Copies of this chain bind each other. A is one copy, B any other.
Amino acid sequence: MLEAEVTITVPFHDLDPMGVVWHGNYARYLEIARCALLERIDYNYPRMGEEGFAWPVVEMRIKYVGPLRFGQQAKVTARLVSWENGMKIDYLIHDAASGALLTRARTFQVPVSLATGEMSLESPPELLRRLKDTP
């Protein structure tokens, strides 16, 4: 199963007045992990575009278990859990030092043809081929 992991050092500008990462900023952390995952199958955003598709996020769910603070190392894991009719990706954020689970999240993306602007019900063959060819 396709997976990727990135480590993020929490920057000052992501903090809110409580001194913890503002909840809306987690979408950026998820995206960095998602892009690392897609990079593993050579399917980054520019490549998708070259092959005629955009993959908008149509659903995002985040459960905040524990806060993230300044300078903390956050290990963000993204795993592709479904891909035949869109891409469903699950995320976990752990404190890199203690291993404590801090966040669970999921995104769902669908292919939209850049030529017609229409959403497809099935993932394009290029994605499926890439997944098959990845060891």
Contacts and interface: CB of A to CB of B under 8 A. Distances in A.
Contact of A16 (B15, B35, B58, B71): B15
A63 B67 contact: no
The oligomer's copy count stands at: 4
A129 interface: no
Interface stretch (A17-25, A75-83, A85-93, A120-128): A17-25
B70 A46 contact: yes
| Interface residue SS majority, chain A | mixed
- What class of interface size applies to chain A in its complex with B? 35 or more
Contacts of A2: none
Contact of A54 (B11, B13, B18, B58): B18
Given A18-B56, A44-B70, 11 more contacts: A11-B32, A12-B31, A13-B24, A16-B16, A17-B17, A17-B18, A27-B27, A46-B70, A46-B71, A59-B62, A60-B60
Interface of A: 11-13, 15-20, 22-25, 27-28, 31-32, 35, 44-46, 54, 56-65, 67, 70-71
